[in-house]
Amino acid sequence: MAAKREKVRYKKILFGEPAVFFIPAMKINDPKNKAKADRLHDFLIKEFGGYTSERGNILGYWRKKASTDYTEHVKYIVAFKTPSKLSLLEQFIAELAKDLKEQAIYMETGKNSWLIYTE
């Protein structure tokens, strides 16, 4: 006869809605961009309390005029509870894109996906 399992008590804490964005791996992992990678890490820890980063075979393809571009990415995930936090993240991503000389960064929030362009 199997032993009866005792129910484990737990609690849930709502983090908020997820925001997912992708940074080109070649750029963010480049030693010359270490300060930018450190700034991203510090920002996500300070403003969102943490983040998840996924590395591996995260591939992006998109049409560019008559050709197709390809990039490997690092995926980042944070959670936000207020629109002001999302705006803060979007502004930071735009600044990072400009620093990395990226035209745009792909981002997902809830059911929507976006391109954050630099100006």
110, pLDDT greater than 90 = no
Distance of CA 33 to the CA centre of its chain: 17
> Using one digit for the tens of pLDDT, what is the confidence trace for 36-56?
999 999 999 999 999 999 998
In this structure, whether the domain defined by 17-117 belongs to CATH 2.60.40.10 is answered with no
Look at residue 5 and give its three-state secondary structure.
Answer: coil
Per-residue model confidence as pLDDT tens digits over 10-33: 999 998 999 999 999 999 999 999
Q: What pLDDT sits at residue 115? A: 94
Closest CA to 76 of 98, 92, 65, 99: 92
Q: What is the pTM of this model?
A: 0.87
The C-alpha atoms of residue 77 and residue 18 are separated, in whole angstroms, by 7
Tokens in use for 104? 């745009």
CA 18 to chain centre: 9
* Domain regions of the chain by residue span: 17-117
